[in-house]
A = this chain, B = another copy of it.
């Protein structure tokens, strides 16, 4: 249970109310399970209070599909049809983002580096336009690690994002500049995993 008592009161000239309402940049990293799952759990919480949620999955395969995607599409439908919760958009790099047909037409020859850069450019545009209120950039540390997206540009855009937009970034090996810029950093450490003893992933648990 979170404790409501901060360890010290910062000398930042903000009222408690203003400080309470600061947008959050969270990073879930480490080699353990739960980085994405916890990010989607946060998105569930955001949806519940009516925030506009957008998920961007930086995954290579279009076939890669987690149960959360289907569940969030249902939640988005509850918003659209019954006005419950927040709006939901779910975008996946896969063989091409939904807003561009370019890479999708290229089929399996898709340039992942270019697709990742396109994804980030779109996110930067949406942040500037305050299009959403809660962003999940799932597996986004990989394009950063591989140099497909520039870390300094990401940190700069995130730091300067206007309004009240929360951003959660997941993935192993989060770059130090990113974790330094983040408000909340959690490392998920694998202590024990069924696959270590030869068990297989299964529907409803792993995806």
Q: Which residues of A line the B interface, CB within 8 A?
A: 1-10, 12, 16, 19-22, 24, 28-30, 32-34, 36-42, 44-49, 51, 59, 64, 66-68, 70-71, 74-75, 78, 84-85, 134, 139, 166, 179, 182-207
Contacting pair B191 A189 (CB below 8 A) = no
Contacting pair A191 B198 (CB below 8 A) = no
List the B side residues contacting A195 at CB < 8 Å. Answer: 2-3, 5-7
From B12, B34, B46, contact of A38 by CB (8 A): B34
Contacting pair B33 A196 (CB below 8 A) = no
List the B side residues contacting A24 at CB < 8 Å. Answer: 194, 202, 205
Contacting pair A182 B192 (CB below 8 A) = yes
Contacting pair B78 A189 (CB below 8 A) = no
Contacting pair A186 B194 (CB below 8 A) = no
Shortest CB-to-CB span from A59 to chain B, Å, is 7
Q: Quick one: given A10-B198, A204-B51, are A188 and B191 in contact (CB under 8 Å)?
A: no
Contacting pair B199 A19 (CB below 8 A) = yes
Q: Compute how far the CA of A60 lies from the CA of B16 in the bound complex, rounded to whole angstroms.
A: 26
Contacting pair A186 B34 (CB below 8 A) = yes
Q: Compute how far the CA of A71 lies from the CA of B75 in the bound complex, rounded to whole angstroms.
A: 8
Contacting pair B199 A20 (CB below 8 A) = yes
Which residue from chain B places its CB closest to the CB of A69 in the assembled complex?
B48
Q: Compute how far the CA of A110 lies from the CA of B64 in the bound complex, rounded to whole angstroms.
A: 48
